[in-house]
Structure 1
Amino acid sequence: MANVVEIVTDLVTPILEDYQFDLVDIEYVKEGKNWFLRVFIDKDGGIDINECALVSEALGEKLDTIEPDPIPQAYFLEVSSPGAERPLKKEEDYVNAIDDYINISFYQAVEGEKQYQGFLKEVTPETLTLLVKIKTQEKEMTFDRKNIAKARLAIQF
């Protein structure tokens, strides 16, 4: 699967650069009996459906010309926005999310919890610091990045 993601990354990057869009993530997953190749893109101010269609068409054409076919089984190509709760994957994503409300989930529970939500206050190569609300108290908590399974922007209620 990683090979498909690497190939698609190499193919889609120049397309995105032409339009000045950002690559957020690529997934190649099987759901039920169907395979999906999902490419998540964004830009300042957000991405719209017409821009997703442009990238989908250009990427589809490139994928159709590669021999031998890097994806031999049938699949659905989806190009979309990552949505309001976009994942934080790259270092740049974390830096851009400082002062934003995020959700992090862990491989192993931290103080009895498998996830926390709060405002991202600091990012280092080893840690993330969040301002979290526990009942009525706000508290800064620092988490080891090696224990973070997933991080994403979150909507605060």
Structure 2
Amino acid sequence: MASHQVVKLVQQIALPIVQEAGIELVDVEFLKEGGRWYLRIFIDKPDGISHEDCRFVSERIDRLLDEKVPISHSYSLEVSSPGIERPIKKLEDYSRFKERSAVVTTFVPINGRKKFSGRLMGTRMGNVVIDIDGTELCIPLEQIASARLAGEL
């Protein structure tokens, strides 16, 4: 099964489990590093993720993975917080993290660049607004390749 198919299935399985626990599903990755496969599930909640939260999600998902996700090779399951440089995946996250420093990368150059560091200013008419040294830049959401929170500028 292709990696993107595994990610999609795991997201479908994980979402009700984390929602029931009052936790947000931030991201799922299924990738090969150093010759080993890893299935990583990133979770978060407003007051932070505890070891107990990770254990709860890991145990609940582990049982369902064996039943519902046909992965033919061995892999390691990791459940953790997304960390300080958390990825921004959902439209509402751009407003949720307004005023926070972020790094946004685009698929195509905008004003000759593809990487922008600045302060998130939310969304406006389908665009993500980022303040770069006092100048607001509107980036069409569909042009964003990746975005993550960053340390203070």
TM-score, shorter chain, exceeding 0.5: yes
Residues in 1 aligned to 2:88 and 2:94: alpha-carbon distance in whole angstroms:
6
Letter of the aligned partner of 2:51 in structure 1?
I
The alignment's TM-score, normalised by the length of structure 1, stands at 0.86
Q: Deviations over 1:52-98 (max 9, x none)?
A: 1121112112223x16x511110010000001111111122222122
| Counterpart in the other structure of 1:112 | 112
Alignment partner of 1:11 is 2:7 = no
- Quick check: 29-38 or 124-133, which moved more? 124-133
Contact 2:94 2:122 in 1 (8 A): no
Residues in 2 aligned to 1:8 and 1:95: alpha-carbon distance in whole angstroms:
26
| Counterpart in the other structure of 1:101 | 101
Residues in 1 aligned to 2:73 and 2:130: alpha-carbon distance in whole angstroms:
43
Letter of the aligned partner of 1:44 in structure 2?
P
Deviation at 1:47, TM superposition (A): 0.6
| Counterpart in the other structure of 1:155 | 151
Runs of 4+ aligned structure 1 residues displaced above 4 Å come to none
Alignment of 1:6-155 (within 5 A): 6-64=8-66, 66=67, 70-124=70-124, 126-133=126-133, 138-155=134-151
Q: Give structure 1 stretches of 5+ with no counterpart.
A: none
Q: Give structure 2 stretches of 5+ with no counterpart.
A: none
The alignment's TM-score, normalised by the length of structure 2, stands at 0.89
SS at match of 2:48: coil
Change in CA separation of 1:12 and 1:131 when aligned onto 2, cut-off 3 Å: same
